[in-house]
Chains A and B, each alone.
Chain A
């Protein structure tokens, strides 16, 4: 089946620092999605990417759909304490099968 490799597995950063995480796949996706999950909640969509090369921002978050369609990255600028949580990448292939990476746990030191 599809394999999504998400890195890093966890990050412990200082408040105000920028954060970068990425996802790579063994196969091509037609959509990349980035989600955040808070404890006890379901994942919430942050950014959706639909075209290879697309760069999309949502406030302090920026994500890009890789040119090869096999990778994506998410940047968070000037991190704040409420950014803590688990961030997931997800890829959707033709036929609407949606698969997820293992997640990046973000912890912020204030």
Chain B
């Protein structure tokens, strides 16, 4: 039972570098999310995709872009990493209607130096 799989688990970037965080789910869920978690701030929504083909900004979208590649995959891209983007990033997925429980990946710990 893979559930939600995120890669990589750890990453160190230099300021200005770019990278893409990958997320895939095998539960046939329609909705997918990207959050960042910082101490004392809970989980803040960066972007979400309510269904395949749509993406919307969350609370903290600046500095990020997303792609809903297909129903399974939702990637998060940092075009020019900044130290303020040092965080733990979580991907999640949920059904669109009825069962709206969201399931999380194990996280990507990103450090920007």
Contact = CB atoms under 8 A, between A and B. Distances in A.
A, B bound: yes
Interface residues of B, number: 29
A33 interface: yes
Contacts of B31: 96
Contacts of B58: 1, 97, 99
A61 interface: no
Interface residues of A, number: 28
A45 B104 CA distance: 9
Contacts, number: 74
Interface stretch (A14-22, A52-60, A71-79, A87-95): A87-95
A2 B90 CA distance: 19
A101 interface: yes
Interface string A80-110: 0000000010101001111111110000000
Interface of A: 1-2, 4, 6, 9, 31, 33, 35, 40-45, 48, 50, 88, 90, 92, 95-103
**What are the 5 tightest A-B residue pairs by CB atom distance, in nearest-first order?**
A42-B104, A102-B42, A100-B43, A96-B50, A96-B31
Residue with the highest number of chain B CB atoms closer than 10 Å, among A43, A45, A92? A43
